[in-house]
Structure 1
Amino acid sequence: MTVAVLPFLAFAASQVGTPGPANMALMATGARFGLRAALPFVAGVALGKQFIIWPVGFGLMQLAASAPWAFEALKWASAAYIIWLAWRVANLRLGEGGAAEAPGFVAGLIVHPLNPKAWAMITGGFTAFVAPGTPAIEATATIAAVLFGCQVVLHPLWTWGGSLVAHHLRGTAAERYLMWTLAGLTVASVLFVLFGGGTT
């Protein structure tokens, strides 16, 4: 296969499931307003990532063909940044938002384009899980579909569980274990790609 779908699925699930800026916003929104009121925001967040995936996908696939060394450099830079983010995630603590009203669909659309973790995740997906020479449309559509599928499942779960998690785990030992587990899954998926042949 030219796109390592199953390894990328594991990577994407760990990334989308990691409590980064987007999931913290979703959790805080759910904690304050509940899933039903937050659904427009959830939909915007899920769709907004597509505004990064398609331009990045076509540009990076052209780069892989014309400058393989730059493609390889991006692979390692993205992996390093994601591991650094995982370290930060391990030390994050749950909290609640303080917005006066539930954010809507348009507010959700801009979450990922302004989120450096989303850019690193998408760049890492293309550089680590897509074989050089893969047609841009195939690579981009696959990455887009896998990420969107993970978001459709995991973003509502973060929102729905926001109030429960924030109320019961904030400030307890279990909160630390949760963060370290999610961070560990992220690092493990990156190491598998770097040293286990993620694009074969």
Structure 2
Amino acid sequence: MSVAVTSLVVFAASQIGTPGPAGMALMSAAARHGVRATLPFLGGVILSKQLVIWPMGFGLMQLANDAPWLFETLKYVSAAYIMWLAWRVAHIRLGAAAQVSDAPGFVAGLMVHPVNPKAWAMIIGGFTAFVGPGTPTLEATATIAAVMLGCQMVLHPLWTLAGEAIARTVAGRALEPYLMWTLATLTVASVLFVLFGGGI
């Protein structure tokens, strides 16, 4: 057996292309610092899902079956961390006077998906829904890793560009606080949907 690649691509694109913590983090970073300054963070975010996929393919799936409480705990700890980040985003202002901190870097990007409950759910869904019985572990893991990396390389930059475009429109204007609170709210909503909505 093998991996249902076409269905996996549709699944991955639909998940990566819809609002989630990673997309909101990229949009928020670009809104504050611009696309150019956000590129190292973008690179880290794109690669960070690999830090979950490969360990998942080579053993963590079994651990998830043996100790489900561990992954349940991780899910809520991750959600709490992302909500804290959302609170910080809500209070960011985009005007020139607010540009007092550096843009998040590559290492910060690498931390996004390991603490992203949507990413964990998406990866688990990829292994359980699209990998046929008896598929070699390396083939399954490499296929899922390649498909998700490809989708991220196309779709994550779009979130980044959207953040900068929105910022150019509202920076320093009365709408600015509402934009940042909206981004923060969407981040929290995406996490709550994964936790309680039964979605991936």
Q: Which runs of 5+ in 2 are unaligned?
A: 69-74, 76-88, 93-98, 191-200
Which residue matches 2:121? 120
After TM superposition, the structure 1 = structure 2 runs for residues 93-104 of structure 1, keeping only pairs within 5 Å, are 98=92, 100-104=101-105
Amino acid corresponding to residue 29 of structure 1 in structure 2: A
Which residue matches 1:153? 154
Amino acid corresponding to residue 4 of structure 2 in structure 1: A
Which residue matches 1:17? 17
Which residue matches 1:132? 133
Q: 3-state DSSP class of the match of 2:113?
A: coil
Distance 1:53 1:97 in 2: 33
Distance 1:120 1:30 in 2: 26
Instruction: Give the superposition deviation at 1:96.
Output: 6.3
Distance 2:134 2:91 in 1: 44
Which residue matches 2:165? 164
Distance 1:61 1:108 in 2: 24
Q: Which runs of 5+ in 1 are unaligned?
A: 64-69, 75-80, 82-94, 184-200
Which residue matches 2:37? 37
Distance 1:42 1:25 in 2: 9
Amino acid corresponding to residue 56 of structure 2 in structure 1: V
1:32-52 per-position Cα deviation (integer Å, ceiling 9, x unaligned): 111111000000011111010
Instruction: Give the superposition deviation at 1:61.
Output: 7.0
Which residue matches 2:28? 28
Which residue matches 2:56? 56
Amino acid corresponding to residue 12 of structure 1 in structure 2: A
Q: 3-state DSSP class of the match of 1:52?
A: helix
Distance 1:62 1:163 in 2: 41
Query: Aligned residue pairs: how many?
Result: 156
CA contact (8 A) 1:33 1:102 kept: yes
Distance 1:17 1:155 in 2: 8
**Kindly tell me: are residues 134 and 97 of structure 1, through their superposed partners in 2, closer, same or farther at Cα, counting changes over 3 Å?**
farther
Distance 2:28 2:91 in 1: 5
**Kindly tell me: are residues 147 and 47 of structure 1, through their superposed partners in 2, closer, same or farther at Cα, counting changes over 3 Å?**
same
Distance 1:43 1:18 in 2: 19
* Aligned sequence identity (%): 64
Which residue matches 1:46? 46
Distance 1:123 1:145 in 2: 15
Amino acid corresponding to residue 55 of structure 2 in structure 1: P
Q: 3-state DSSP class of the match of 1:113?
A: helix
Which residue matches 1:186? none
